[in-house]
Structure 1
């Protein structure tokens, strides 16, 4: 009888964890590390097996969150999200289908924008990039959207296609320093970014960062969407000898407006665990977590929070303030498009 009871205990099926996916960015970027932190400190306590997936970046993430089975969360740059909203408002039906059902979970941190050029380049400032050959990152990446938006805002015209290349960060840096067919490479990543932190001291012989000039009229034009930031020597002591002023863009954790009760329950538990373990995220996660505020500020026009997670987070935040911890596919495309639609993935190449 005892043996039979023991066998029943051994053979009793273990309750399966919920399986979700989150799309991030490149393997050597900051987003994927943030995703791994969320998998450990928010998903695991909520009994969610969160598969952290690399991607080209924010624009692709919007589409994968919308259409790829199993993808329930995504990391998206604020300018990419806003660009989809603007495209929808301007009558782009594909953009509307993509963005209208998406919802914000949490505002995260500002991502620094790196303007990389050769060490021997005569360029010093970001506003000197007009008419230069620039790598803006793969089509579908947030970097491509940020780079083209910034160029248009700063110089009043689109980056000429003849001057744009869409290589990965790694390939572009090699091209920059070898055949010199590029004048600059733009990278968007929260510091410290693995791409740069793994560089050896010899890197300063080959590359440098362009600086933001607060007095340039081009800088003032970008200020409506992008924020001043500093790339710190402490983040890259191997190859940086001084801090470099630059621009940045906000990162958001985003989901879909799910109506399924089971999915809502899992996401509420994720939100509860995120709040309960927020101190651990800041202490043990990527350094960027120290810049994240556990609050829910007003969103831009056309943006909405995901109501079930919003209610959970607000209730948890209220408890935290009293020092109480709770228990714990592709969209339709078109052939003719603008450069912005192209980098958003809203047209055929």
Structure 2
């Protein structure tokens, strides 16, 4: 079974290299958990926490892939942070959530975008095998951002219209070790597909090519809609977004409490005119314990004091909602910002 082989390979890598080695296992990353293409910029020196030297103003921010939402949104954060603070942000394309936890754990990243469920697993040493009894105690929360929609996409000529049609299919569950892969496997288990499918692991953009070429039957994508790779696919092929609805949706939510109801509005993608019910997790900004409090507070303030300068996910990103779904302990710098903001609101 392909699923078993790829999962075993991932766990072998993690077991040999340790959690810090996760930063190297997703060079063709996926997830929005966006789909990385391995062409991210080189890492600059992360902030070292001593408050001195140029290293204190150069921060490394790990995003996701270029076909998802994490990477372009992170570059908008880069602009507002650099326009409003003394910090410079080096934004890297990565394999997103699980890989980014590893980057935070070993100090290669100062900030990263991850899913709230993956953050919970990492902090508590549970949930998925790579974190089981191997808690990443240094990870800290900054803010939650927007729902990360689970999109199950196929082409009309596959005949797949509901989850039960996936039995025996070839499915791209996202890049190996990504949050997308974790969510896909959780969903397939919850609705009774189990391991009765052939698993492929590749980025969103690569998955779109696989669908075009008939190499796979369906693909899971986790990201705020519209996802660029799906938009491109819909412009060249007749796509179907498979709903996660009714009893299936309830089963998924019963199996994992971090899933919430979500809907992809009709018209989001060419040829998909009706709303499609599904589920979502939450995107969030994370950091690590060693980043100075004033650094985290400054970066947090730059982003949330200048939300009007953003163009991506502006219907969701706000100071007022930035702790909704926060699944781990806040960094003291973020806590200071949001506490001050609440005080100002009360006094105002």
Give me the TM-score of the superposition, normalised by structure 2.
0.74
SS at match of 1:186: strand
Rounded to whole Å, the distance in 2 between the matches of 1:64 and 1:145 is 18
Do the aligned partners of 1:62 and 1:98 also contact (CA within 8 Å) in 2? no
SS at match of 2:340: helix
Rounded to whole Å, the distance in 1 between the matches of 2:262 and 2:126 is 30
Matched, 1:269 2:298: yes
Residue in structure 2 matching 1:30, options 26, 49, 69: 69
> What's the CA shift string for 1:171-201, capped at 9, x where partnerless?
22222232x3422111111112221334564
SS at match of 1:62: helix
Structure 1 residues not aligned, in runs of 5+: 1-14, 324-349
Rounded to whole Å, the distance in 1 between the matches of 2:152 and 2:340 is 41
Distance of aligned partners of 1:239 and 1:153 in 2 relative to their CA distance in 1, 3 Å threshold: same
Which is worse superposed, 88-97 or 131-140? Answer: 88-97
Rounded to whole Å, the distance in 2 between the matches of 1:197 and 1:49 is 32
Residue in structure 2 matching 1:256, options 281, 284, 288: 288
Matched, 1:82 2:120: yes
Rounded to whole Å, the distance in 1 between the matches of 2:249 and 2:192 is 10
Rounded to whole Å, the distance in 2 between the matches of 1:190 and 1:163 is 26
Structure 2 residues not aligned, in runs of 5+: 1-52
Q: Within 5 A, what are the aligned runs for 1:109-148? A: 109-148=146-185
Distance of aligned partners of 1:321 and 1:38 in 2 relative to their CA distance in 1, 3 Å threshold: farther
> For residue 110 of structure 2, what is the aligned residue in structure 1?
72
> For residue 177 of structure 1, what is the aligned residue in structure 2?
212
Q: Within 5 A, what are the aligned runs for 1:256-335? A: 256-258=288-290, 263-278=292-307, 280-281=308-309, 284-286=310-312, 288-295=313-320, 296-297=323-324, 299-300=326-327, 303-320=328-345
Rounded to whole Å, the distance in 1 between the matches of 2:166 and 2:83 is 45
Report the structure number with the largest CA radius of gyration.
1
SS at match of 2:117: helix
Matched, 1:195 2:229: yes
Task: Flag as ranges the 4+ runs of structure 1 deviating above 4 A.
Answer: 89-98, 297-300, 320-323
> What's the CA shift string for 1:150-184, capped at 9, x where partnerless?
22222274x35x61111222222222232x34221
Give me the TM-score of the superposition, normalised by structure 1.
0.74
Q: Displacement of 1:298 after TM fit?
A: 7.0
Point out which structure has higher relative CO (alpha carbons under 8 A, 6+ apart): 1
> For residue 240 of structure 2, what is the aligned residue in structure 1?
208
Number of aligned residue pairs: 290
SS at match of 2:191: helix
RMSD (Å) for aligned C-alpha atoms: 2.7
Q: Displacement of 1:111 after TM fit?
A: 0.9
> For residue 259 of structure 2, what is the aligned residue in structure 1?
226
